[in-house]
Structure 1
Amino acid sequence: MSRDRRTRHVPRPLAERRTEPFESAEAAWFWFQRARLTRAEGARLPADPLAAARPCDPDDIGRAVRALALAGVLRSDHLRVLNRHGRRLMPPDGRVPEEAGDAALWAEALDRLATPLRRKGIVRRGYGA
Protein backbone atom coordinates (compact mmCIF):
# COMPACT_ATOMS: atom_id res chain seq x y z
CA MET A 1 0.00 0.00 0.00
CA SER A 2 1.55 3.32 -1.05
CA ARG A 3 1.56 6.35 1.18
CA ASP A 4 0.25 9.66 0.02
CA ARG A 5 3.35 11.64 -0.94
CA ARG A 6 1.81 15.08 -1.13
CA THR A 7 4.01 17.85 0.16
CA ARG A 8 2.95 19.20 3.50
CA HIS A 9 3.24 22.91 3.97
CA VAL A 10 3.96 23.72 7.56
CA PRO A 11 4.50 27.38 8.42
CA ARG A 12 7.91 28.15 9.82
CA PRO A 13 7.88 29.89 13.16
CA LEU A 14 8.64 33.58 12.94
CA ALA A 15 11.64 34.84 14.81
CA GLU A 16 10.62 35.91 18.26
CA ARG A 17 10.83 39.68 18.58
CA ARG A 18 9.93 41.66 21.62
CA THR A 19 6.84 43.76 20.96
CA GLU A 20 6.75 47.44 21.73
CA PRO A 21 3.50 49.25 22.49
CA PHE A 22 2.71 52.52 20.77
CA GLU A 23 3.54 55.67 22.68
CA SER A 24 0.00 56.98 22.26
CA ALA A 25 -3.44 56.24 20.89
CA GLU A 26 -2.71 58.77 18.15
CA ALA A 27 0.38 56.84 17.01
CA ALA A 28 -1.63 53.59 17.01
CA TRP A 29 -4.43 55.27 15.03
CA PHE A 30 -2.07 56.53 12.33
CA TRP A 31 -0.43 53.08 12.09
CA PHE A 32 -3.91 51.57 11.66
CA GLN A 33 -4.78 54.14 8.99
CA ARG A 34 -1.54 53.49 7.05
CA ALA A 35 -2.38 49.79 7.08
CA ARG A 36 -5.92 50.51 5.80
CA LEU A 37 -4.67 52.77 3.04
CA THR A 38 -2.03 50.23 2.02
CA ARG A 39 -4.63 47.45 1.91
CA ALA A 40 -6.97 49.63 -0.16
CA GLU A 41 -4.20 49.96 -2.74
CA GLY A 42 -3.98 46.16 -2.88
CA ALA A 43 -0.70 45.80 -1.05
CA ARG A 44 0.35 44.56 2.34
CA LEU A 45 1.85 46.70 5.05
CA PRO A 46 5.56 46.48 4.30
CA ALA A 47 7.62 44.75 6.96
CA ASP A 48 10.35 47.04 8.15
CA PRO A 49 13.02 44.93 9.85
CA LEU A 50 14.16 47.96 11.84
CA ALA A 51 10.66 48.89 13.02
CA ALA A 52 9.46 47.73 16.39
CA ALA A 53 7.17 44.71 16.41
CA ARG A 54 3.73 45.77 17.58
CA PRO A 55 1.61 43.92 20.14
CA CYS A 56 -1.41 43.79 17.84
CA ASP A 57 -2.69 43.61 14.29
CA PRO A 58 -4.16 46.71 12.67
CA ASP A 59 -7.58 45.04 12.84
CA ASP A 60 -7.38 45.01 16.64
CA ILE A 61 -7.48 48.80 16.62
CA GLY A 62 -10.40 48.80 14.19
CA ARG A 63 -12.29 46.38 16.43
CA ALA A 64 -11.67 48.59 19.47
CA VAL A 65 -13.10 51.60 17.60
CA ARG A 66 -16.14 49.60 16.47
CA ALA A 67 -16.78 48.38 20.02
CA LEU A 68 -16.62 51.94 21.35
CA ALA A 69 -18.97 53.13 18.61
CA LEU A 70 -21.46 50.34 19.31
CA ALA A 71 -21.35 51.18 23.02
CA GLY A 72 -22.04 54.86 22.22
CA VAL A 73 -18.69 55.97 23.62
CA LEU A 74 -17.63 57.26 20.20
CA ARG A 75 -20.26 59.17 18.24
CA SER A 76 -20.53 59.57 14.49
CA ASP A 77 -18.81 62.98 14.63
CA HIS A 78 -15.84 61.35 16.42
CA LEU A 79 -15.67 58.65 13.75
CA ARG A 80 -15.91 61.21 10.95
CA VAL A 81 -13.01 63.24 12.35
CA LEU A 82 -10.88 60.15 13.05
CA ASN A 83 -11.45 58.93 9.51
CA ARG A 84 -10.93 62.28 7.75
CA HIS A 85 -7.71 63.22 9.50
CA GLY A 86 -6.51 59.63 9.72
CA ARG A 87 -6.67 59.38 5.92
CA ARG A 88 -4.59 62.56 5.72
CA LEU A 89 -2.18 61.01 8.25
CA MET A 90 -2.16 64.35 10.03
CA PRO A 91 -4.03 65.46 13.15
CA PRO A 92 -6.29 68.50 12.93
CA ASP A 93 -4.60 71.77 13.83
CA GLY A 94 -6.57 73.52 16.58
CA ARG A 95 -4.86 76.83 15.72
CA VAL A 96 -6.62 76.88 12.35
CA PRO A 97 -10.17 78.18 12.83
CA GLU A 98 -11.63 75.68 10.32
CA GLU A 99 -10.08 72.76 12.23
CA ALA A 100 -10.63 73.89 15.83
CA GLY A 101 -13.84 71.86 16.22
CA ASP A 102 -12.19 68.82 14.65
CA ALA A 103 -9.20 69.18 17.00
CA ALA A 104 -11.46 69.01 20.05
CA LEU A 105 -13.31 65.95 18.71
CA TRP A 106 -10.00 64.34 17.73
CA ALA A 107 -8.56 64.72 21.24
CA GLU A 108 -11.78 63.45 22.82
CA ALA A 109 -12.01 60.41 20.52
CA LEU A 110 -8.38 59.41 21.01
CA ASP A 111 -8.68 59.88 24.77
CA ARG A 112 -11.64 57.49 24.78
CA LEU A 113 -9.84 55.03 22.50
CA ALA A 114 -6.71 55.05 24.67
CA THR A 115 -8.43 53.28 27.58
CA PRO A 116 -9.17 49.96 25.84
CA LEU A 117 -5.87 50.10 23.93
CA ARG A 118 -3.94 50.63 27.17
CA ARG A 119 -5.85 47.79 28.83
CA LYS A 120 -4.77 45.47 25.99
CA GLY A 121 -1.14 46.62 26.12
CA ILE A 122 -1.31 48.28 22.68
CA VAL A 123 -0.46 51.79 23.91
CA ARG A 124 1.52 53.16 26.86
CA ARG A 125 -0.48 56.31 27.51
CA GLY A 126 -3.45 58.27 26.23
CA TYR A 127 -3.86 60.89 23.53
CA GLY A 128 -0.74 62.53 22.15
CA ALA A 129 2.86 61.54 22.73
Structure 2
Amino acid sequence: MARDKYAGCVLHDQPAEVFATTEEAWLWFVRCQSARDEGARFGAGRGEVARPCEPDDIAREVGRLYRGRILRPAHLKVLDRFGRRLAPPDPWAGDSPAEARLWEEALDRLATPLKRKGIVS
Protein backbone atom coordinates (compact mmCIF):
# COMPACT_ATOMS: atom_id res chain seq x y z
CA MET A 1 0.00 0.00 0.00
CA ALA A 2 1.44 3.38 -0.97
CA ARG A 3 2.05 5.90 1.77
CA ASP A 4 0.69 9.42 1.50
CA LYS A 5 3.25 12.13 0.91
CA TYR A 6 4.03 14.26 3.96
CA ALA A 7 2.01 17.45 3.58
CA GLY A 8 2.98 19.28 6.77
CA CYS A 9 0.59 21.37 8.78
CA VAL A 10 -0.32 25.04 8.76
CA LEU A 11 1.09 26.70 11.86
CA HIS A 12 0.85 30.38 10.88
CA ASP A 13 -0.98 32.69 8.51
CA GLN A 14 2.39 33.85 7.21
CA PRO A 15 4.58 31.66 4.99
CA ALA A 16 6.84 29.26 6.88
CA GLU A 17 10.55 29.93 6.84
CA VAL A 18 12.44 26.68 6.29
CA PHE A 19 15.76 26.10 7.98
CA ALA A 20 18.86 26.82 5.90
CA THR A 21 20.78 23.86 7.35
CA THR A 22 20.15 20.70 9.31
CA GLU A 23 22.40 22.07 12.05
CA GLU A 24 20.15 25.13 12.37
CA ALA A 25 17.07 22.90 12.61
CA TRP A 26 18.71 20.69 15.24
CA LEU A 27 19.83 23.61 17.41
CA TRP A 28 16.33 25.13 17.14
CA PHE A 29 14.86 21.82 18.29
CA VAL A 30 17.24 21.70 21.27
CA ARG A 31 16.36 25.28 22.29
CA CYS A 32 12.65 24.44 22.06
CA GLN A 33 13.12 21.26 24.08
CA SER A 34 15.12 23.11 26.76
CA ALA A 35 12.37 25.72 27.04
CA ARG A 36 9.77 22.96 27.28
CA ASP A 37 11.79 21.23 30.02
CA GLU A 38 11.77 24.53 31.93
CA GLY A 39 7.98 24.73 31.70
CA ALA A 40 7.32 26.72 28.55
CA ARG A 41 4.20 25.91 26.58
CA PHE A 42 4.15 26.01 22.83
CA GLY A 43 1.31 26.98 20.58
CA ALA A 44 0.94 27.51 16.87
CA GLY A 45 1.43 31.07 15.71
CA ARG A 46 3.18 32.39 18.82
CA GLY A 47 6.76 32.50 17.55
CA GLU A 48 8.49 35.39 15.85
CA VAL A 49 9.30 33.26 12.81
CA ALA A 50 6.90 30.76 11.27
CA ARG A 51 8.52 27.34 10.94
CA PRO A 52 7.38 24.46 8.73
CA CYS A 53 7.25 21.98 11.62
CA GLU A 54 6.85 21.46 15.32
CA PRO A 55 9.90 20.54 17.45
CA ASP A 56 8.41 17.08 17.92
CA ASP A 57 8.61 16.47 14.16
CA ILE A 58 12.40 16.62 14.37
CA ALA A 59 12.45 14.42 17.48
CA ARG A 60 10.26 11.83 15.74
CA GLU A 61 12.57 11.78 12.74
CA VAL A 62 15.66 11.26 14.92
CA GLY A 63 13.84 8.44 16.72
CA ARG A 64 12.87 6.84 13.42
CA LEU A 65 16.47 7.00 12.17
CA TYR A 66 17.72 5.52 15.43
CA ARG A 67 15.21 2.66 15.35
CA GLY A 68 16.21 2.03 11.73
CA ARG A 69 19.85 1.85 12.86
CA ILE A 70 20.77 4.76 10.61
CA LEU A 71 21.81 6.76 13.67
CA ARG A 72 23.85 4.97 16.31
CA PRO A 73 24.06 5.73 20.04
CA ALA A 74 27.34 7.57 19.42
CA HIS A 75 25.53 9.90 17.01
CA LEU A 76 22.83 10.63 19.58
CA LYS A 77 25.47 11.31 22.20
CA VAL A 78 27.22 14.00 20.13
CA LEU A 79 23.88 15.48 18.98
CA ASP A 80 22.91 15.80 22.64
CA ARG A 81 26.28 17.10 23.84
CA PHE A 82 26.75 19.80 21.23
CA GLY A 83 23.05 20.56 21.06
CA ARG A 84 23.04 21.40 24.76
CA ARG A 85 26.07 23.59 24.16
CA LEU A 86 24.19 25.16 21.21
CA ALA A 87 27.33 25.00 19.11
CA PRO A 88 28.96 22.49 16.78
CA PRO A 89 32.22 20.75 17.71
CA ASP A 90 35.14 23.15 17.97
CA PRO A 91 38.76 21.95 18.01
CA TRP A 92 39.74 25.11 19.93
CA ALA A 93 37.36 24.06 22.71
CA GLY A 94 39.04 20.66 22.99
CA ASP A 95 36.52 18.69 20.92
CA SER A 96 38.03 15.69 19.17
CA PRO A 97 38.04 15.07 15.42
CA ALA A 98 36.08 11.87 16.07
CA GLU A 99 33.29 13.87 17.72
CA ALA A 100 33.27 16.31 14.81
CA ARG A 101 33.01 13.41 12.36
CA LEU A 102 30.08 11.87 14.28
CA TRP A 103 28.36 15.28 14.41
CA GLU A 104 28.69 15.70 10.63
CA GLU A 105 27.54 12.10 9.99
CA ALA A 106 24.48 12.53 12.21
CA LEU A 107 23.47 15.80 10.58
CA ASP A 108 24.06 14.36 7.12
CA ARG A 109 21.85 11.36 7.86
CA LEU A 110 19.15 13.61 9.30
CA ALA A 111 19.32 16.04 6.36
CA THR A 112 17.69 13.80 3.75
CA PRO A 113 14.40 13.16 5.57
CA LEU A 114 14.17 16.76 6.77
CA LYS A 115 14.69 18.03 3.23
CA ARG A 116 12.15 15.57 1.90
CA LYS A 117 9.60 16.92 4.39
CA GLY A 118 10.35 20.54 3.52
CA ILE A 119 11.81 21.40 6.93
CA VAL A 120 15.31 22.14 5.60
CA SER A 121 16.02 23.79 2.27
CA contact (8 A) 2:71 2:106 kept: yes
For 1:73-111, what per-residue CA distance to the aligned partner results, in whole angstroms no more than 9, with x for missing partners? 000000000011101111111455543211110001000
Show structure 2 runs of 5+ residues with no match. 1-10
Q: Percent identity?
A: 52
For 1:40-67, what per-residue CA distance to the aligned partner results, in whole angstroms no more than 9, with x for missing partners? 1111359443x2x111000000000000
2:96 is paired with a residue whose SS is: helix
Cα distance change on mapping 1:15 and 1:81 into 2, 3 Å: closer
Could you tell me which of 109, 117, 120 is aligned with 1:120? 117
TM-score, normalised with respect to structure 1: 0.77
Q: Could you say which residue in structure 2 is the equivalent of 1:82?
A: 79
The CA distance in 1 between the partners of 2:59 and 2:12, in whole Å, is: 26
CA contact (8 A) 2:89 2:95 kept: no
The CA distance in 1 between the partners of 2:75 and 2:12, in whole Å, is: 38
TM-score, normalised with respect to structure 2: 0.82
Cα distance change on mapping 1:15 and 1:58 into 2, 3 Å: closer
Show structure 1 runs of 5+ residues with no match. 1-13, 125-129
Larger radius of gyration: 1
